[in-house]
Structure 1
Amino acid sequence: MKRAIFPGTFDPFTTGHYSVVQRALTFMDEVIIGIGINESKNTHFPIDRRVQVIQDFYKDEPRIKVMAYSNLTVDFAQEVGAKFVIRGIRTVKDFEYEESIADINRKLAGIETILLFTEPELSCVSSTLVRELLSYNKDISQFIPKGMEL
């Protein structure tokens, strides 16, 4: 079975994240959305809420699991038996950052990283920007997957 993790804070889970998951399902048997607990990040939604919202959204997709983790991503991947890490790339800056992490993960655990480039129409969507819109009570419906309840 080809199992991958898709790690992130997902605060909130955006249309960009959704696109990456859907595309990963075309070549993976299972995708585990790993919600990293990072105390240094200023999150809008508590971790339990993020897990619940994404689980509810994917309740009818048995190939998707949602889990929180607080250790290194590479260790989380090993714990769940994933041989791949899926990451979305929007910019050259993202690529350079992800390349370094991918190299370390491969050296530490033999885990390969698969980079999926963002679809052009989603390149402006980031959780950071969506959180900012939320803080100003703006409508974010176009930036989260249809049917997702925050």
Structure 2
Amino acid sequence: MRRAVCPGSFDPITNGHLDIIARAARLYDTVHVAVMINKAKDGMFTIDERISLIEEVTGELGNVKVESFHGLLVDFCKQRDIPAIVKGLRAVSDFDYELQMAQMNIGLSGVETLFVPTNPAYSFLSSSLVKEVAQWGGDISHLVPVPVLDALTAKLRQQ
């Protein structure tokens, strides 16, 4: 069985993330989405909320498993016998950072990293940018799946 992982904080998941996950799901038997926990950051959504949203928007793919993880991504991979990490690249600046991570990961554990060029429609997109635009009342309906838009709108109303 061919397995890969798509890691990230997904706070929240965007259409760009979803595009990379869906493309990986066409190439692998199982795609694990690792929602990485960074205790140094306060997210808008809790880990459980992120997992729930990702499960909802990837449900139709049929071969995606969503889990949280704290620690090194290569440890997540080792624990689940996952030989590949799939990462989307938006720009050259992403490549510079991600190449260093990929080289470290293969050196630590032998886990390969595959880079997937982002769909040009999402090349500018990030969770941080989506949250900022939403906080200022901008239209993000074309940037996130409908369940995420609804959840984000509800969170902003609570603030």
**If the length of structure 1 is used for normalisation, what is the TM-score?**
0.93
Summarize the alignment of residues 92-107 of structure 1 with structure 2, pairs less than 5 Å apart.
Answer: 92-107=92-107
Which one is further off, 33-42 or 84-93? 33-42
Deviation string, structure 1 residues 68-126 (Cα, Å, up to 9, x no partner): 00111111111122100010100111001000110111011110000001111111111
Which one is further off, 8-17 or 39-48? 39-48
Gaps of 5+ in 2: 152-159
Residue in structure 2 matched with residue 46 of structure 1 by the alignment: 46
Structure 2 CA distance, aligned partners of 1:27 and 1:59? Answer: 17
Structure 1 CA distance, aligned partners of 2:53 and 2:121? Answer: 24
Letter in 2 for 1:64: V
In the alignment, structure 1 residue 81 sits paired with structure 2 residue 81: yes
Summarize the alignment of residues 117-136 of structure 1 with structure 2, pairs less than 5 Å apart.
Answer: 117-136=117-136
1:139, distance to aligned residue in structure 2 (A): 3.2
Structure 2 CA distance, aligned partners of 1:58 and 1:76? Answer: 20
Identical counterparts, % of pairs: 36
1:146, distance to aligned residue in structure 2 (A): 4.7
Residue in structure 2 matched with residue 65 of structure 1 by the alignment: 65
Higher RCO by CA contacts (8 Å cutoff, separation 6 or greater)? 1
Structure 2 CA distance, aligned partners of 1:135 and 1:144? Answer: 14
Q: Count matched residues.
A: 150
Structure 2 CA distance, aligned partners of 1:36 and 1:22? Answer: 19
1:147, distance to aligned residue in structure 2 (A): 5.4
In the alignment, structure 1 residue 113 sits paired with structure 2 residue 125: no
1:41, distance to aligned residue in structure 2 (A): 2.4
Which one is further off, 81-90 or 60-69? 60-69
Structure 2 CA distance, aligned partners of 1:116 and 1:105? Answer: 17
Higher helix proportion (structure 1 or 2): 2
Summarize the alignment of residues 28-43 of structure 1 with structure 2, pairs less than 5 Å apart.
Answer: 28-43=28-43
Gaps of 5+ in 1: none
Structure 1 CA distance, aligned partners of 2:19 and 2:63? Answer: 15
**If the length of structure 2 is used for normalisation, what is the TM-score?**
0.88
In the alignment, structure 1 residue 138 sits paired with structure 2 residue 138: yes
Structure 2 CA distance, aligned partners of 1:85 and 1:117? Answer: 14
Letter in 2 for 1:101: M
Structure 2 CA distance, aligned partners of 1:121 and 1:70? Answer: 31
